Structure 1
């Protein structure tokens, strides 16, 4: 019987909210969207899931995190039980299930000696792998199965010809061109890391297009798509076919590697990586930071990724930003021959939008739209007015203590009055310490001033809170992730 509304369900809702914030919407939807709270009683939390597979996966990969989040809500929780909901159980014992256990053995070459009837029943796993491999090799866009396997289609705009070179990306571009040349495999894996909008995906897809045009087999996936595909293959008992498909391609590209979670998925990725590299097949991986800084990855995966060529792409300097704008203007003039941007306006945009090439393209698109829709010439005044909010968003945001108190209160479901009060309960003390820590590291305010803003506390209290959170964050991975999440929310 499910727990009544208004008791443990409120705690469970807050636990789910934190899980969604920490894991992201896609991962949360995959593993926790169908988890229900059945009972919360005498220190034991009972949760139910629809399948045995989901139960085993959560127990293997998220049990400690669940326990930590529940104990943050209720200190007396000491046990979490996962059960499979009764309505689903009959599906676990259907007659067809045992036949799937020996299936991998029958896909070996000796299977050709089986009787025709037996060979026919074992055809599907191998056929699925061969069909998927062939579809990847052809680079077809029409079949839905191929699209599912390949993930996002390659963008035809992302080629080497449209990539603008500068000091900040020259090494990455040279490495990508070397890989795309099709000679001997030298840089394997090639690992590209950079912040958003600096050209990682552009270079990866340029290499993929070059490979694809030469008739070789290419597979481009995001890390989350790889994770989803692997888990789906496990559920469908077609993991062997999925792995066989991966290991027969010529180029594997994995984008957003920072989102690859789960011990079993990472182990399989590492096996696939080793198999492709040992077979002289090319692998390119991209992430928002270097392999050594991807704390969520298994040590073996980090080591393997670091063993190739690791190249970072830095923020573009003024010269590169200017060249990006000039190149994009030339492209726009093919459709709008009369479109023109004066040199002073180019200098203004390149000087004030410095974060990424993607923001520069967005700024230019606004100027094109304004010019074409109003027929007004591009002037300095018009550019300043049109790009005002975009330029402001690229300026460093000043975080206020009031912002920190508001965000922390909302995140931990306490009030601002609680943070400023003298209450010493655990559910209040920890958020208060975190808020003080964030005020110290994200604002220029002094310790005494921070203390005054938190209920006229002494500066030594603030110092103790800062040191306490710093020390806990070193050993508590969940807390460390929460701090990073709060910082991102405050910077947004």
Structure 2
């Protein structure tokens, strides 16, 4: 091969970045270096044992396959931890060098495009940052070790939480938990609240933290990222035991966005913490964007423990609640802009066309305020329609569940759901199974490995084969194409 090892490594980095996405590539491969080649082995290195362990556990096969395509004589890779000082004159090829040198426009990595892609790159980035040598976040580690928790917003309390049919139960349960005094029986433990983005989960959790603090209970509010960063930092600083003891000494533990919790050791510690606090009759409050049964990335023991308490869903905002939210935002805006006036007809129009979440309603008020303050024009339904057009076009699609896909496909093709999940290879089962996998890929945000697990523990390559098979057949078979489009409409309506 005429290419130098540097050029071949550059292609390997570009391919990994395209397949895994920029966030995952930067988190786990940005400091991976090619040290030397000694056929049939390629010797790579990373700066920490944590990165070495993670790459070996999750990416060895994938990495070996990609390296083997560029270096024909390489059949195996070895990842070592490099020392902080190298022999004089040596310079390995770092993967991150090619992030700067070779921009890949339009290749940011879709949610199912990655092979063996972990569930959430943001959580991985935190874990990776915590293990980088010479990390500049020493003050953050001290804050976490002292259990300062994530910052609370004073505005997010029960007094200004707007209640409607969709969140009434969640609000009542949260208020009961937050205002309970020390020594009262724990009615709902753990309390698990789930909802889509922008529906008020974080507001309720912070309101619980404020209320619990007001009645002199020891409370800590953490995002899943903060919990992971604190645990990883404690491991690095060899203060893990103290970290665990301090965490288990509190009265109320509030954790937000638990769907981002990643890593086997972190999940094990989280499960131990749950068990310890529940056994000690301490209150736990958890929030996520889906029910416990759908947190495929979490260990089964964690999901079971979370489902054992009170699980409450906050549904989509009904129109009456959307109007209440808009009116509250308008009142708040008038404190700064006294002349800001929104006619009732405009409020009703905005509430009727923006059905997504509270953040989009905030965005609508900001656009209306900008329109009136910058142009001086009077707000009408017509001008409001122009001002919020982008928000109306970006309505959140219905969230489709893999279980719904499996049930519908099974019914449509007159087979059972058990058949689809089984290992049967008969034609009347294989095709519906492939169609169900294809629909799960295009209608959900689940990764290929997650879809494979939900279809009887199959490998991600099986799912990828099914997706490509149905795509090819659908493009050449008009009847199959119409059948799949019908299934999509039935699932999305």
Where in structure 2 are there 5+ consecutive unaligned residues? 88-138, 399-433, 444-449, 468-493
Question: Which one has the largest radius of gyration?
Answer: 1
Deviation at 1:377, TM superposition (A): 2.3
Answering whether residue 61 of structure 2 is matched by residue 67 of structure 1, we say yes
Q: CA RMSD in A?
A: 3.7
Taking the aligned partners of 2:451 and 2:350, their CA distance within structure 1 comes to: 40
Report the CA distance between 1:319 and its aligned residue: 1.7
* Alignment partner, residue 202 of structure 1: 203
8 Å CA contact 1:50, 1:88 repeated in 2: no
Matched, 1:476 2:459: yes
Partner of 2:175 in structure 1? Answer: 177
Alignment of 1:289-300 (within 5 A): 289-300=290-301
Aligned match for 2:76, one of 75, 79, 85: 79
Q: Is the 8 A contact 1:188 1:282 kept in 2?
A: yes
What do the CA deviations read for 1:254-277 (whole angstroms, capped 9, x no partner)?
A: 111111111111000111111111
Change (3 A) 1:439 1:83: closer
**Would the aligned equivalents of 1:257 and 1:285 in 2 still touch at CA under 8 Å?**
yes
Counterparts of 2:462 and 2:195 in 1: how far apart (Å)? 25
Distance (Å, rounded) in 2 between the aligned partners of 1:482 and 1:219: 46
Asked if 1 retains the 8 angstrom alpha-carbon contact of 2:254 and 2:285, the reply is: yes
User: Contact 1:353–1:391 at 8 Å: present in 2 too?
Assistant: yes
What's the CA shift for 1:217? 2.2
For 1:158, what is the secondary structure of its paired residue? coil
**Cα 1:210/1:482, change in 2 over 3 Å:** farther
- The 3 A distance-change label for structure 1 pair 471 and 269 is closer
Question: What SS does structure 2 have at the residue aligned with 1:6?
Answer: helix
Kindly provide the CA deviation profile for residues 241-261 of structure 1, in whole angstroms up to 9, marking residues without a partner as x: 111111111221211111111
Correspondences of 1:165-244 after superposition (within 5 Å): 165-182=163-180, 183-244=184-245
The SS at the match of 1:67 is: helix
Task: Confirm whether residue 271 of structure 1 aligns to residue 277 of structure 2.
Answer: no
Structure 1 ranges of 4+ moved more than 6 A: 469-473, 478-484
Q: Is the 8 A contact 1:8 1:40 kept in 2?
A: no
Residue 472 (structure 1) shift? 9.6
Higher relative contact order (CA 8 A, sep 6+): 2
* Farther-moved stretch of structure 1 (274-283 vs 324-333): 324-333
Aligned to 2:384: 383
Q: Is the 8 A contact 2:452 2:460 kept in 1?
A: no
CA contact (8 A) 1:473 1:479 kept: no
- TM-score, length basis structure 2: 0.65
- Secondary structure of 2:355's aligned partner: coil
Equivalent residues of 1:185, 1:282 under 8 A apart? yes
- Superposition pairs of residues 9-20 of structure 1, within 5 angstroms: 9-20=10-21
Mapped pair 1:52 → 2:53? no
| Alignment map for 1:1-150 (pairs within 5 Å) | 4-20=5-21, 25=23, 31-39=28-36, 42=39, 44-59=41-56, 61-62=57-58, 65-68=59-62, 70-71=64-65, 74=68, 79-87=76-84, 145-146=142-143, 149-150=147-148
Count of residues in correspondence between the two structures: 363
User: The residue matched to 1:38 in structure 2 has which SS?
Assistant: strand
What are the Cα deviations for residues 293-324 of structure 1, in whole angstroms up to 9, with x where unaligned? 11111111111111111111111121221121
Distance change >3 Å, CA 38–CA 480, structure 1 → 2: farther
How many angstroms apart in 2 are the aligned matches of 1:478 and 1:259?
24
Q: Report how far residue 330 of structure 1 moved.
A: 2.5
2:160 is the alignment partner of 1:159: no
**Structure 1: distance between partners of 2:232 and 2:461:** 24
Q: CA deviation digits over 1:88-124, x for unaligned, max 9? A: 699xxxxxxxxxxxxxxxxxxxxxxxxxxxxxxxxxx
Show structure 1 runs of 5+ residues with no match: 91-141, 398-432, 443-468, 485-492
1:479: Cα distance to partner? 8.0
SS of residue in 1 equivalent to 2:394 = helix
Q: What are the superposed Cα offsets for residues 153-212 of structure 1, whole Å, 9 maximum, x if unpaired?
A: 111221112211111111111110111121422211111111111111111011111122
Residues 179 and 215, structure 2, Cα contact 8 Å, conserved in 1: no
More helix by share: 1
- The 2-side partners of 1:473 and 1:14 are apart by 28
Distance, in Å, in 2 between the alignment partners of 1:167 and 1:222 is 27
TM-score, structure 1 normalization = 0.65
Distance (Å, rounded) in 1 between the aligned partners of 2:27 and 2:442:
35
